Amino acid sequence: MRRAKMDLVLSAADYYFFTPYIYPATWPEDDIFRQTISLLIVTNLGAYILYFLFSTLNYYFVFDHALMKHPQFLKNQVYREIMFAVQSLPWISIPTILLFLLELRGYSKLYDDVGEFPSGWFHLVVSVLSFLFFTDMLIYWIHRGLHHRLVYKHVHKPHHTWKIPTPFASHAFHPLDGFLQGLPYHIYPFIFPLHKMVYLGLYILVNFWTISIHDGDFRVPQILRPFINGSAHHTDHHLFFDCNYGQYFTLWDRIGGSFKNPSSFEGKGPLSYVKKMTEEKCDGHAGNGCKNEKLFNGEFTKTE
């Protein structure tokens, strides 16, 4: 039997909450209008929980607060990031719910039973890798397209308000921007078979990863640096605008000619700048290098 990941979530929500406390007993659980209302509630509640839970934990336990001393860190930035995300998420959810509804109505290739395929668990593992590479490819081109001069200022520019992002900037998108960059995750199960529990797990992972590449933790194992698009890569994307568009990997940036070795790996990143600025203050030269907000470690960040 093919079911959607949201079928699993809605079944639990119906059993424990909607049916006993909210909806009349005569309203069938598979009614499309009831499902739409339930999806609006569950999707938004889930989005806020994931956003605030992971972002808050990351902000207090991973994010390097020294970055807040950088001259391009904005006044009240954390509050502004949160408010932007809180206002955008409900709008992002509206077209997303339509895709969830199609999943619920059985139009996707999501499945329940691992044994449905002869290769079983092998297929499940391959589907995870396939999901990551497929979505990384599409997000790269969507993200790069959002930087086109005819689109950028109308859709993607708000996300680049945060030159030195915090984890709370992870979901601070224009609603159309947020939906378009999330679209590959929803397209995948309409094209390729995917186990519904794996899909649910990947959905959570995607949100966690999106937060992690905005957390200012630039540490990446040396052996993975050529392949993984981490926070160091994405911070440079925010600073320099036209590089490192990838989500998980550096593959498509290398193919597309947009790869930039992170400045943090070269000792020229924002943390190095803050350290240098702090040392200058300690030496009685607080003004040096601090007045020009465009200055970034001897370079100028690109303006849009």
Q: What is the pLDDT of residues 160-174, one digit of tens each?
A: 999 999 999 999 999
**For 42-97, what is each residue's pLDDT tens digit?**
999 999 999 999 999 999 999 999 999 999 999 999 999 999 999 999 999 999 99
What is the per-residue pLDDT for 7?
80
Q: Write down the pLDDT at residue 276.
A: 85
Give the domain ranges of the chain: 5-218
Within 13 A of 279's CA, how many CA atoms are on the CB side? 6
For β-strands 194-195 and 110-111, DSSP reports them as parallel
> C-alpha angle with apex 24: 19 to 29, nearest 5 degrees?
50
One-letter amino acid of 142 = I
Instruction: Give the per-residue pLDDT at 4.
Output: 55
User: What parts of the chain have a pLDDT lower than 50?
Assistant: 1-3, 286-303
Q: Rounded to 10 degrees, what is the CA torsion of 31, 36, 39, 41? A: -110
Q: What is the pLDDT of residue 178?
A: 96
Helix (H, G, I), strand (E, B) or coil at 45: helix
Q: How far apart are the first and last CA of the chain?
A: 50
pTM confidence score = 0.87
Give the pLDDT confidence score for residue 294 in this predicted structure: 42
